[in-house]
Amino acid sequence: GKESALVQALLAPSVFVWAVLLHGLPSVGRANTYLAFAAALVVGAMLAGILHISSRPSAPPNNWRYASAAGFVVAVAWVYCIAVELVHVLQAVGRVVGVSDSFMGLTVLASANSIADLSANLAVAHAGLVGMAASACIGGPLLHLLFGVGLSTLLGNLLVASPFPMELNLEIYTSGAFLAAALLAILAFVRLSKDLPGRAFGTMLILVYFVFICILGGLEIFGGANLLTGNLRRAATQMARVRAA
């Protein structure tokens, strides 16, 4: 209704400010933060007033296409802000139970992110569109890996520090090794089965995933919470200096 549209117009600039400040910009102080939110509320009130004047409860505004596009962008900003807060909650839970952020991300967060994709891919496969389901299984993680890491690295260089630090830890090496092994196993198994993979194909992939989780769990339990997140390059440099001395 019109009332909900007015509320969205009022809060939209504040949501964008919230999304930007979630990065923890070092140059933005507390006074500037309050000023940014105050300015956002003023801009939101102006947008809500324009929307109230140009629309009626029984009919959409004249430029409803632009309003729909803006609503979509605001929805993405809301999802982003809520997702960041959920990640912070998950990080706090990991701190309480003594589990590293890497292990929580590779297990709990990864499962939560993939449940929707898994349900959609299963539904598509049951509908007989096996090729589409298989393509989505590869295209979705590829989008997350390339676009997600690329965009976050670009924003990190622009908003946080340039160059943006990315530590080479055991988590990255272990995940990358299993990802490469899984992709090679899929290609080899499909080719050897003449593009007709059976139950053994699905069983193999599930076993690879469980082996991956078991190895991470073993590293977490026997190596400690800092093993997966330790900077291997820094540790190797320190070890070389100790040996040289």
The per-residue pLDDT for 164 is 66
Q: Is the dihedral of CA 17, 20, 22, 28 positive or negative?
A: negative
The per-residue pLDDT for 231 is 56
Alpha carbon 180 to its chain centroid, in Å, reads: 21
The per-residue pLDDT for 3 is 73
* Both structure tokens of 209: 């995933």
The per-residue pLDDT for 175 is 79
String of DSSP letters for 118-185: HHHHHHHHHTT-HHHHHHHHHHHHHHIIIIIHHHHHHHHHHHT-SSPP---BHHHHHHHHHHHHHHHH
**The CA-based dihedral angle spanning residues 81, 85, 86, 87, taken in that order and rounded to the nearest 10 degrees:** 100
**pLDDT < 70 regions, the chain:** 1-2, 22-30, 57-64, 67, 159-162, 164-169, 195, 223-245
The per-residue pLDDT for 45 is 85
The per-residue pLDDT for 221 is 74
